[in-house]
Chain A
Amino acid sequence: MTTRTTASFEIKYHQYLDADGKATQELPAFAKDMDKMRSLYRDMALLRAFDAKAYALQRTGKMGTFPASLGQEAIGIGYGDAMTEKDVLVPYYRSTGALLKHGVSMKEILLYWGGNEDGSDYAVAKEDFPICVPIANQIIHCAGVAKAMQMRGEKRAAATEIGEGGTSEGDFYEGINVAGIWNLGCVFMVNNNQWAISVPTEIQTACETYAQKAIAAGIEGVQVDGNDIIAVKQMAEYAFEKARNGGGPTLIEAITYRLCDHTTADDASRYDDPTVKEEAWKNEPMVRLRKYLEANNAWTEVDEDSMKAEIAAEVDSAVKEYEAHPKPGAELMFDHLYAELPEMTKPQREAALALQTKGAK
């Protein structure tokens, strides 16, 4: 029997900095701008400090469940840095880095995880979506947002992020599939941190890569070293530029390792191998960037100390704002349900307010 090959594919892996902070190939121009690289390092440090504080707030009963980004900072900061104000972010629960980069405040993020919808009423990023908790719904929202931009002929992009486990969901494929068919300006980031709570990659897919799932949607799929912020940012800039200019969607699989628990409600020691995790710590994104900066005489111990002090003050100040934010009143259960509260629901609002008033006395 004779056959012919009707399709074939390959997946490219992109890395610029290895775990020692050494260039593995010619670096893009921005990587040689030490002010820029210092600011990216600072962004990652802020995210890490914010995470640690959020964990502490949860542990002391001052905030609810929280998913940290430890070890994965280069992803959100990297693609967040490639976004402009006009682009729209459709975040999931581990998009803290991108949210911060896109103008969502630490206070807002704390309010969200602190159980207050005020946290999703972004003061700056007015068109960005609230954090998506149901897995993979956001992929389709990203396509819908990009479709609206396309219909209006706007040069903007929509970006979203998902964990590698989320790529098993139907919505993931449905979203990237339609983005491919309609050539939508989407950037799909896959945070491949090796774990979907306790479920590892080998239970999630038989594919060699998550990037190749893009091939089945007819869109470009690439892999980057998710611990290398230069690779993440470089590829994200390419994808956003393409998305804004009618070039269609890109899926970027950023390979990293979740050095933290899934959330504050999880205990990764139940399933994670400590020796594997120890090895993963050697690859984490901040150390290599610091080594790179130091090798370029762009960072010192003094810089590190003063940055940490500044960041701690910023985070503390955000926590103070969060803690000073007024508790929502019962009316807020009702007042944004519809443009106008239905007649049949009005007595329930009155009853809830009456109970609240009674409780206050």
Chain B
Amino acid sequence: MAAITLIEAVNAALAYELEHDQDVVLFGEDVGKNGGVFRATDGLQKKYGEDRVIDSPLAESMIAGLAVGMAAQGLKPVAEMQFMGFIFPAVDQIFGQAARMRHRTRGRLTMPMVIRAPFGGGIHAPEHHSESTEALFAHIPGLKVVIPSNPSRAYGLMLAAIRDPDPVIFLEPKRVYRIVKHEVEDNGEEYPLEACFVDREGSDITLISWGAMMHETNIAAEKLAAEGIDAEVIDVATVSPIDMDTILESARKTGRVCIVQEAPKSGAVGSEIAAEIAEHAIMSLLAPIGRVSGYDTVMPYYKLEKQYMPTVDRILDEARKIMEYK
């Protein structure tokens, strides 16, 4: 057992499935010899061969469409979009084909496929490399959208995504690819999809987030604890479909909710969570639901990205404001 980063955990999970399931095949731009631009697939082609870890031509719709064709034949393709900002040509295939195939054939053809994409800001990347557009995918019935926040979840959730019989969009928060290391046992044990993780139990306020923002959210919870505020912290992890039971239970318990997301505020995953809480737990709330998010603006070039992205201080401000309601 070794301490590994999130991206090493992705690599370990991919390797585990390549090793144990002959139907698993990896492909995408630069995933083979180069091991991916972030090294997510480092060493996998060498170990599992060019037939199973395949450098594809540079065409995102083709990458997703190939996965549809291969999945219909019973393979378990794991395709990489090099950056989420380039996923849009593939949206036609993902929304119009992968998400619908099981439904439109009454279950005759299924799509056990994964589309991986690094996403999110904070690494001083060029334009189109920093957006958080998970809500677009979360909106589409037939897809599952999974976002790990740390190395052990990346490992367990990636295994689950590959083994899932339906198409999974697996979004990797690249800002935290190497920010922390976890002891992760490479034992092939998956984590459940459609399940939130409770990072910290608390009784005063529920902080809800996912992906890279879990880092700031957990720091904020510690600081709140120092102020005598006992925060419960929930990592949504699967942002579609959402495990609302865990969220509602917590909201009913604490009566105060703060949702933290890197994505723009409106029409987002956080909006849906807020709406569900309002629909099912509003009578338990002691304060209005708060949201800390990116702005409803175009993701700025990196000179302004720090001002765009939620910070620990912004989370603390919002949480304190929520706590002030009596």
Contacts and interface: CB of A to CB of B under 8 A. Distances in A.
Chain A CB within 10 Å — which of B66, B77, B102, B104 has the most?
B66
B142 A117 contact: no
Interface in B200-227: none
Given A144-B72, A338-B142, A344-B241, A137 B93 contact: yes
Contacts of A118: 106
B72 A171 contact: no
Interface stretch (A172-180, A201-209, A291-299): A172-180
B105 A344 contact: no
Given A336-B107, A344-B241, A345-B241, 16 more contacts: A118-B106, A121-B106, A122-B108, A132-B97, A134-B92, A140-B93, A144-B66, A144-B69, A144-B77, A147-B66, A171-B61, A175-B62, A177-B57, A181-B57, A337-B141, A338-B102
Contact of B110 (A177, A339, A342, A343): A339
Contact of A171 (B92, B104, B110): B92
30 contacts: A127-B72, A129-B109, A134-B96, A137-B96, A139-B65, A140-B61, A140-B62, A141-B65, A141-B68, A141-B69, A141-B72, A143-B65, A144-B65, A144-B68, A147-B70, A148-B69, A171-B93, A174-B57, A174-B62, A174-B65, A175-B65, A178-B57, A335-B107, A336-B102, A336-B107, A337-B102, A338-B165, A339-B164, A344-B244, A345-B241
Given A175-B62, A339-B166, A147 B107 contact: no
B134 to A, nearest CB: 16
A290 B276 CA distance: 66
Contacts of B69: 90, 140-148, 158
B106 A120 contact: yes
B307 interface: no
Nearest to A342: B241
B105 A130 contact: yes
10 nearest A-B pairs in the assembled complex, by CB-CB distance: A144-B69, A140-B65, A342-B241, A148-B73, A174-B62, A121-B106, A144-B66, A141-B69, A339-B165, A174-B59
Contacts of A342: 194, 241
Nearest to A333: B103
A170 B89 contact: yes
Given A148-B74, A175-B62, A177-B62, A130 B109 contact: yes
Interface string B240-257: 011111000000000000
Contacts of A137: 65, 68, 92-93, 96-97
A210 to B, nearest CB: 20
A345 B243 CA distance: 11
Interface in A82-141: 88, 90, 117-118, 120-122, 126-127, 129-130, 132, 134, 137, 139-141
Contacts of A46: none
B245 A171 contact: no
Interface string B283-306: 000000000000000000000000
Contacts of A360: none
A173 to B, nearest CB: 8
Given A120-B106, A171-B92, A174-B61, A145 B70 contact: yes
B70 A144 contact: yes
B324 interface: no
A145 B241 contact: no
Contacts of B194: 342-343
Interface of A: 88, 90, 117-118, 120-122, 126-127, 129-130, 132, 134, 137, 139-149, 151, 158, 170-171, 174-175, 177-178, 181, 332, 335-339, 342-345
Contact of A337 (B65, B67, B103, B109): B103
A253 B244 CA distance: 53
Contacts of A158: 69
Interface in B49-75: 51, 56-57, 59, 61-62, 65-75
Interface string B103-129: 111111110000000000000000000
B26 interface: no
A45 B65 CA distance: 35
Nearest to A171: B61
A29 B57 CA distance: 41
Does more than half of chain A's interface fall in helix, strand or loop, or is it mixed?
A: helix
A343 B25 CA distance: 30
Nearest to B101: A130
Contacts of A127: 72-73, 109
Interface string B138-170: 000110100000000000000000001110000
Interface string B66-91: 11111111110100000000000100
A270 B231 CA distance: 67
A178 to B, nearest CB: 6
B294 to A, nearest CB: 24
Contacts of B59: 170, 174, 177-178
A271 B109 CA distance: 39
Contacts of A117: 103-106
Contacts of A146: 69
A121 B106 CA distance: 6
A67 to B, nearest CB: 17
B75 A148 contact: yes
Nearest to B25: A151
Contact of A336 (B92, B103, B243): B103
A126 B74 CA distance: 12
A178 B72 CA distance: 18
A146 B89 CA distance: 22
A343 B61 contact: no
A144 B74 CA distance: 11
Nearest to A90: B69
Given A134-B96, A151-B51, A144 B245 contact: no
B243 to A, nearest CB: 7
